[in-house]
Structure 1
């Protein structure tokens, strides 16, 4: 079986992460799915941002996402950091500023829904946060608006926070969930806590460094979504484990590698 290719924060190797431009580029590159992180603004909007603040991607702009309103976030450029010398390049293409702002989850869902083929969304809720379970409640409300709260919806909700995924299961029992974890020693406890139909999301580094973990996961009943897979060697390991999806910064490269595999994945 060929694994799904999921673009990590969009086509984030070539574009600024979590921007509309990055996600459109990922779709154009042939990604099967788009991965995003979401945080809740002070006025209740879910936005696609990884960090608690924007200092890394918005020229050291101070302030937590949770204390800012969407209108303020829309004034910021969160893409120029990726190409800091672009304005000095006389041959650089004209910049489309609409591709450079903070993106709402609603807008990303609209983009995925309008795509010419099925695009999966893998949505990671970030914790801890001052809003606690309100993040998942807002998310499920939005999924319901789109009719994406059923078993056939093109969406998976992911989190490192076990309680966050429990909330999603209570609010939308049919939505697929992925328990993320970053250390091999966490798995013995997690495997007793998660539902049989939950997916699991280990990092590629842990699978590489801990072969025993890799094979225990492969032998478990859980589908596996692995982050962040960027090389042929990492893909080969994922294939050997029967991984369902590889989350990658390089969707175009990974698409080519996966498409070169025989249809049966051998």
Structure 2
């Protein structure tokens, strides 16, 4: 029996500051199968882990990520709304995350945030880091920019890719195959049961986002969905264990 995998969205983002090392460590602690994170480039060309194009929402800074040098970004507090519980925490580099992952067996979904700003070289730099740490078999590269996905496949056919999308896509398994992707990462709103089933039957994994409600988790587990991407990995794991009878 194949169990639905659990990917911690930006780490354990529902309970810890998103896209920070403590959030990723929490996902590992509770037993997630993988983590999902977002990458962008700094002004000096470093690959950093942050979701928004600006630092305004998740840090005590202001402005675009692309306008900051790495050493300037590192001075910001990215504890977001969790500062009282966890104190000051900072924006990690992708290199820091990959270094930490050498000590575990988690999977890693890297989302390239290159739809608003193009970030020339983001694909090449991300792939170079993945290869440098021998993570090719543990990484999935996803993006809403599907040109970027195709570019990644051409640069590194050994690394899995998955298009992200928000709106209804007709026969998405056919589309995924056409761009050499082995999976799709749809918004759950664009992934009715029939689409999930047909995709899996066609050999294309389905990892919908962002699954936080218990009823939706149960429904996707019973459907045999390949994976879910959730802000609450611990909650998802407890529900999964009950459903599958895992102790």
TM-score in same-fold range (> 0.5):
yes
Residue 226 of structure 1: aligned partner: 208
CA contact (8 A) 2:41 2:119 kept: no
Residue 74 of structure 1: aligned partner: 74
Distance in structure 2 (CA, Å) of the matches to 1:145 and 1:221: 29
How far the C-alpha of 1:30 sits from its partner, in A, is 1.0
Pair 211,125 (structure 1): closer, same or farther in 2 beyond 3 Å: same
Tell me, which stretches of 5 or more residues in structure 1 are unaligned? 87-91
Residue 48 of structure 1: aligned partner: 49
Residue 159 of structure 1: aligned partner: 143
Q: Indicate which of 174, 181, 185 corresponds to 1:201.
A: 185
Q: How does 1:1-266 map to 2 (within 5 A)?
A: 1-59=2-60, 61-79=61-79, 81-83=80-82, 86=84, 95=87, 97=88, 100-115=89-104, 118-149=105-136, 153-184=137-168, 186-188=169-171, 191-192=174-175, 194-195=178-179, 197-207=181-191, 210-262=192-244
How far the C-alpha of 1:232 sits from its partner, in A, is 2.6
Instruction: Find the structure with the greater CA-based Rg.
Output: 1
CA contact (8 A) 2:39 2:47 kept: yes
CA contact (8 A) 1:179 1:198 kept: no
Distance in structure 2 (CA, Å) of the matches to 1:219 and 1:190: 9
CA contact (8 A) 1:196 1:221 kept: no
**TM-score for the superposition, normalised by structure 2:** 0.90
Aligned residues: 244
Distance in structure 1 (CA, Å) of the matches to 2:183 and 2:236: 21
How far the C-alpha of 1:187 sits from its partner, in A, is 3.5
